[in-house]
Amino acid sequence: MDRRELAGFLRGRRERITPAAVGLPAGPRRRTPGLRREEVAHLAFISTEYYTRLEQARGPRPSREVLAGLTRALRLSDAERDHLHHLAGAPPGPPAGPSRDVPQSILDLLRRLPHTAAVVLSATYEVLAWNDLAAALLEDFSAVPRRERNLVRRAYLAPRPRERLLYDPFDAEAFARAAARRLRATAARYPEDPEVARLVGELLSGSAEFSRLWDAHDVRPESSLRKTVNHPLIGPIALNCDLLDISDQDQQLVLYTVEPGSPAEEALRLLSVIGTQRMDVPG
């Protein structure tokens, strides 16, 4: 264990993160760049005293659980996570859990696709990022809690689950099957992650259909699809749905596009004008 290098690495990573990036208020009288030590300790589920000793190069060797907590709290990339483990004298094992950090280049790309509805999904089907057109087409995800942004949970456990996806019934069934297959593979990649285990447990106990698909051990990937979204204001919209892997983050970029000159293209153009403004849905 290289205590001095570990201390410098932790301090450097802490100082680069803004409070807003982890959902904390900046507040007045913040004299240091980035997060405070007590904030990192809180996010990593360790004591402030223990974290302070690590940054002062006088702490004991961190356990793998502590290193996993620091990885999440400091928003480390996979390469940084591996470096942290090597400095602590604990060769890295598999990633602690699916990443929720969307690369800035992908966030910039979302904004540069005004005529394409696009969302980023985590390995557990949580919607992590979206552009304005996706919010108008599918839902304003900023208006719902994080838990409700998980599409596989919606597909199996929400009241009137398939309707929450806005897909045509046939397409909703296909999505649910594909999500169960991908989640099976995700659980194998992150066998120690409590959030993945909790999600799978909820689905197994709450849905006989999911249990049946889970027991089939099917992990075949999904190819490009066509979907129909039943929008409450516009009506049915036929879309191409392409999945692009963000491999270094274990995420997927989902692109909803339309055929040029089709009624769907006009529908998306109208949605880009309407946006997410609230309007009375015809009865």
* pLDDT single digits (tens) 126-167: 999 999 999 999 988 988 888 889 999 999 998 775 666 777
Residue 46 has pLDDT above 80, yes or no: yes
Strands (E), the chain: 117-121, 127-130, 225-231, 235-246, 251-257
Kindly state the DSSP code that residue 167 receives in the 8-state scheme. Answer: B
Report the 10 Å Cβ neighbour count for 149.
20
The two structure tokens encoding residue 267? 């529908």
So what's the pLDDT on residue 38? Answer: 86
What domains are defined for the chain?
Answer: 3-87 (1.10.260.40), 104-274 (3.30.450.180)
Enumerate residues 6+ apart whose C-beta is below 8 A from 146: 126
Pick from 179-183, 195-199, 215-219, 261-265: least confident: 215-219
Q: 3-state class of 18 per DSSP? A: coil
Tokens of 73: 């709290």
Task: List the single range of 22-36, 99-113, 132-146, 263-277 with lowest mean pLDDT.
Answer: 22-36
Cα angle vertex 94, ends 104, 251, to 5°?
30
Residue 263, pLDDT > 60, answer: yes
